[in-house]
Amino acid sequence: MPDAHLKVFRGSPGTEGRFDEFDVPVEEGMVVLDALHWIQGHAAPDLAVRWNCKAAKCGSCGAEVDGRPSLTCKTRLSDFDLEQPITVEPMRAFPLIRDLVTDVSWNYEVNKTIAPFTPPDDVPQEDWRWQQEDVERVQEYRKCIECFLCQDVCHVLRNHETERPFMGPRFLVRTAGLEMHPIDQADRREYLKDSGGIGYCNITKCCTEVCPEHIKITDNAIIPLKERVADKYYDPIQWVWDRVRGGRSGGAKAGMELPMLHGSPPPDQAPD
């Protein structure tokens, strides 16, 4: 089998980035992460790569392979024309740490602002009975492995183009999993609208396309949440009803502001 030719981004913030080139011997069934490990073990021991399970279950090894946000552990070399170089770059939406590793801590800060699961006070747990078909939609959201590829590809986050924060597809999926849980009692619609910036999503579905878990992010999570928000704020009957009832409020953890994602993308040096 011929060697694969990889062009791998190297660099740190404040330094001039570059693409180092490596010829990697190819075995059958090899994935891009295998090639990166070969490089670490034989050519560049300090190549920074974040990974854990190597089985597409932990979501650590996201990078941009030939420009496409991908899990490197499930991106097969056999899907590429090995006559051509394969370019591997870090996720561009997040600040660079070094080489292929980016600072994704912003995501963890966003997560803290979402009101947690809120079970009812008046229904004892022994009486929680749900049918499988009732939980399957929630289980779809909970398949998320937090690879943040959807955040990376989302143009709202990637281009840093909004003045107010946007939580991004990953946390819309997480919120959907809470909002549509059979017995959750919290109402996160105000949070979604005002803090989460759900209105910024203009449903281009790029997130759905890159999701390695095949979660239908736009259709099954974001659009239903947008409808719920619209019902609350823009449906006059619902608006009056909420006023009469007093409404369930909140949805954000008290006193927590959603932070902005500030990018520091690596130097924009095209792989020649």
Which residues of this chain interact with another protein, rule CB under 8 A? 12, 14-15, 27-31, 34, 40-42, 45-60, 74, 76, 97-99, 101, 103-105, 108, 111-112, 116-117, 119, 125, 128-132, 135, 138-139, 142-143, 145-146, 178, 181, 184, 253
| Cα–Cα distance measured from residue 30 to residue 33, given in angstroms and rounded to the nearest whole number | 8
Which is nearer to another protein, 78 or 159 (by Cβ)? 78
Give the residue with the Cβ less far from another protein, 96 or 242.
96
Minimum distance from CB of 80 to another protein (Å)? 15
d(CA 112, CA 174): 12
| Cβ nearer to another protein, comparing 97 with 230 | 97
Shortest distance, position 7 Cβ to another protein, whole Å: 19
C-beta of 183: minimal distance to another protein in Å? Answer: 10
**Which residue, among 179, 110, 176, has the nearest Cα to 148 in the 3D structure?**
110
Q: How near is the Cβ of 56 to another protein at its closest, in Å?
A: 7
- Of the pair 184, 242, the CB lying nearest another protein is at 184
Are 184 and 119 spatial neighbours (Cβ–Cβ below 8 Å)? yes
Given a contact cutoff of 8 angstroms between Cβ atoms, the answer to whether 9 and 97 are in contact is no
Give the nearer residue to another protein in terms of CB position, either 119 or 267: 119
Q: C-beta of 14: minimal distance to another protein in Å?
A: 6
DSSP string, 100-136: TEE--HHHHHHHHTBPPP---SSS-GGG----HHHHH
Rank residues 15 and 159 by Cβ distance to another protein and give the closer one.
15
| Closer of 211 and 242 to another protein (Cβ) | 211
Give 237's contacts (C-beta < 8 A, 6+ positions apart): none
Nearest distance, CB of residue 112 and another protein, angstroms: 6
Minimum CB separation from another protein for residue 181, in Å? 7
DSSP 56: S
Closest to another protein by CB, 92 vs 181, is 181
How far is Cα 133 from Cα 201, in angstroms, rounded to an integer? Answer: 28
Q: Report strand pairing: 96-98 vs 86-89.
A: unpaired
Burial of residue 230 (CB within 10 Å: 0-12, 13-18, 19+) is middle
The percent of the chain in helix, strand and coil, each rounded to the nearest 5, is: 40, 15, 50
* DSSP string for residues in 136-174: HHHHHHHT-----HHHHH-HHHHTT--SS----HHHHHH
**In terms of Cα–Cα distance, which of 153, 158, 191 is closest to 172?**
191
Minimum distance from CB of 247 to another protein (Å)? 23
